[in-house]
Structure 1
Amino acid sequence: MTALEDKLSGWTGPSSDTEQEKQDRTERMIREAVRNHAEFANCSLKVYAKGSYANNTNVRSDSDVDIAVQCTNALYWNEVTPGVKPVGTPYTGPWTPARLRSELKTALEAKFPGQVDSSGSTAFTIKSGSARVDADVVPCFDHRYYFSPDNFLEGTKVFKTDNSSLLNYPDQQKANGNLKNQRTNQRYKKAVRIMKRLENAMVTAGVHREVPSFFVECLVYNIPDAVLNLSTWTELVRGTLGHIYNQLEGSESIAVDGRWREVNECKYLFDASQKWTRSDGRDFALAGWNYLGYKS
């Protein structure tokens, strides 16, 4: 067990200093690309990091950066029941989803010639160089989900090129992750890194398929604080894998009162819109259990 404890302890750390420097440089260059694009002079933009890089849960094998370029000129919204949102004046300005995407593409290609992949439906992917890491840059807009005129969730709305859209809640993800990290004596984010490195190791060994990094982070977020506060990494990981496997047995319909949520707590982790299922979580936990040599 000492060898396993040493392995897991070694998996708790963030990206190396060199990798962090590359991530920071990538973010800085993307900010410069947006700032230097003349057409954005009359567009109110927020440019910020999100995802595992911003939340300090990334590891070297997943060290790309996610950057949001958020237009605040227009507000999109949904409401829990019709008429809840306060009456306002619709936006009629020039910054449509199509124009924001087009101008951002031009800005990125000017800064990173020949390195921007715009074929994806959601993000522009910037290929890494010797001094940079891969980056996904997502154009988005302000969004609110109204429960009452004074009670709403603030997030972002992404318009995809396939005419669909998605909602993200990066501020809530960051805040909730930090709070859970504080409640668990700084062990939550270390546990996330362990589980991401476990996933990488299993993929390299050919014993399990790739699992999205965000999904892994959400699985760990739903682990009880008491499990994450266990005294050794060996016990913590055993408890984490066991909890995932046992609690995700059966269908989502049997967990109506205890449904797992994304780290942002604004969206359910398992519903028809997600790319993963409860079975995917159980498969990952079982493979991890066997890979690390735990016994029943």
Structure 2
Amino acid sequence: MSWKTNLEDTFTKWSKRSSDNEEEKCERALSMIKSAIKEDDQIKNSDISFIPQGSYHNNTNVRLNSDVDICVKLKSTVFYELPEGMKMEDFGMTPSNYTFTDYLKDIERALVKKFGRENVKKGKKAFDVKSNTYRVDADVVACFEHRRYNKDGTYITGTQFYSSNGEKVVNFPEQHYINGVKKNDETRRNYKRVVRIIKRLKQTMVEEGVEGLDNISSFLIECLVWNVPNNQFNNNKYVEDVRNVLTYLYHETKEESKCKEWGEVSDLLYLFHGGRSYSREEVNAFILRAYNHAFS
């Protein structure tokens, strides 16, 4: 039977979060990552915070065996972004001898000691800790605290790291989580349900042979739906919500002027400005294909 035979039933199923058993495996993985760092003699007393991020933490994961993403953020050494014309000395900061490369080596050593060399792989942006029957895969991102300073000395905190090819990556996972919860509350929990539905729709498109969707990530889908006004949600049926959301996204991404101010869920980084792996035109084409795939 085709998943389109009763689209409302399909969307109802797709809207649901992962199983309780999956949740338990994710929690075990998070707990063991924390233990690995806290058991390492060289870094256990460092000022480190553990910041869950990604679709599991944001409650938008849609597949079994979802990876757990966790930032291991060193707070005592920071990267920074200063107002134009100002220097680090203006904010009481001094250079550190502890480099990000040093920190990567320390985190890798702690993970290998805990999980074994065969279960820890250093990737482009994260350490991949392999799963077993007890826990799911974990992507561990070693990062320094990122500070976006204002002229008065106040700052917004995020995370920053460099990938293996030297790419600078700045994120604001804590603000992302807070804004996602707020949006979900304002839409009577339908924001995250619609995100899960569209993520599963994209997966289904890939499984059914639709090509050219590699740049349409789960994170991007979550951000796109976050930019949809709340009045497009809370209809009587999921079919109506999804139709409204996709229609809105299609029309608003047709022209740059309509979506150039859109942000990530954190609302601290622009969604369509510079250095992205996707383009606005590519997003617009995906939205149209997704709508037609579901409703045609």
Common topology (TM > 0.5): yes
Which of 282, 289, 292 in structure 2 is aligned with 1:290? 292
For residues 173 and 93 of structure 2, the distance between their equivalents in structure 1, rounded to whole angstroms, comes to 27
In the TM superposition, what is the alpha-carbon distance from 1:61 to its structure 2 partner?
A: 5.0
- Matched-pair identity in %: 35
In the TM superposition, what is the alpha-carbon distance from 1:156 to its structure 2 partner?
A: 1.2
1:92 aligns with 2:123: no
Gaps of 5+ in 1: none
2:22 and 2:65 in contact (8 A); partners too: no
1:84 and 1:148 in contact (8 A); partners too: no
Deviations, residues 77-130 of structure 1 (Å, cap 9, x unaligned): 11232228643131435x320111001111111222201111x23211122222
Which of 226, 229, 233 in structure 1 is aligned with 2:234? 229
For residues 199 and 53 of structure 1, the distance between their equivalents in structure 2, rounded to whole angstroms, comes to 18
Structure 1 counterpart of 2:236, one-letter code = S
1:227 and 1:240 in contact (8 A); partners too: yes
In the TM superposition, what is the alpha-carbon distance from 1:148 to its structure 2 partner?
A: 2.1
Structure 1 counterpart of 2:223, one-letter code = C
Say what the alpha-carbon RMSD is for the aligned residues: 1.9
In the TM superposition, what is the alpha-carbon distance from 1:65 to its structure 2 partner?
A: 0.9
For residues 60 and 15 of structure 2, the distance between their equivalents in structure 1, rounded to whole angstroms, comes to 10
2:126 and 2:141 in contact (8 A); partners too: yes
1:72 aligns with 2:79: no
For residues 193 and 112 of structure 1, the distance between their equivalents in structure 2, rounded to whole angstroms, comes to 32
Q: Secondary structure, in 3 states, of the residue corresponding to 1:76?
A: strand
Equivalent residue runs for 1:209-224 within 5 Å:
209-210=213-214, 211-224=216-229
1:180 aligns with 2:177: no
For residues 62 and 78 of structure 1, the distance between their equivalents in structure 2, rounded to whole angstroms, comes to 37
Structure 2 counterpart of 1:285, one-letter code = I
Which of 23, 26, 34 in structure 1 is aligned with 2:37? 34
In the TM superposition, what is the alpha-carbon distance from 1:151 to its structure 2 partner?
A: 4.0
In the TM superposition, what is the alpha-carbon distance from 1:70 to its structure 2 partner?
A: 0.4
Equivalent in the alignment of 2:150: 147
In the TM superposition, what is the alpha-carbon distance from 1:288 to its structure 2 partner?
A: 1.4
1:249 aligns with 2:254: yes
1:5 aligns with 2:8: yes
Q: Secondary structure, in 3 states, of the residue corresponding to 2:91?
A: coil
For residues 87 and 19 of structure 1, the distance between their equivalents in structure 2, rounded to whole angstroms, comes to 45
TM-score (norm 2): 0.91
For residues 91 and 62 of structure 1, the distance between their equivalents in structure 2, rounded to whole angstroms, comes to 42
Count of residues paired in the alignment:
289
Q: Secondary structure, in 3 states, of the residue corresponding to 1:172?
A: helix
Q: Secondary structure, in 3 states, of the residue corresponding to 1:243?
A: helix
Structure 1 counterpart of 2:287, one-letter code = A
In the TM superposition, what is the alpha-carbon distance from 1:280 to its structure 2 partner?
A: 2.4
Gaps of 5+ in 2: none
For residues 229 and 247 of structure 2, the distance between their equivalents in structure 1, rounded to whole angstroms, comes to 12
2:14 and 2:196 in contact (8 A); partners too: yes
Could you list the runs of 4 or more consecutive aligned residues of structure 1 that deviate by over 4 angstroms after TM superposition? none
1:207 and 1:287 in contact (8 A); partners too: no
Query: Closer, same or farther in 2 for the Cα pair 1:223/1:61, shift >3 Å?
Result: farther
2:51 and 2:174 in contact (8 A); partners too: no
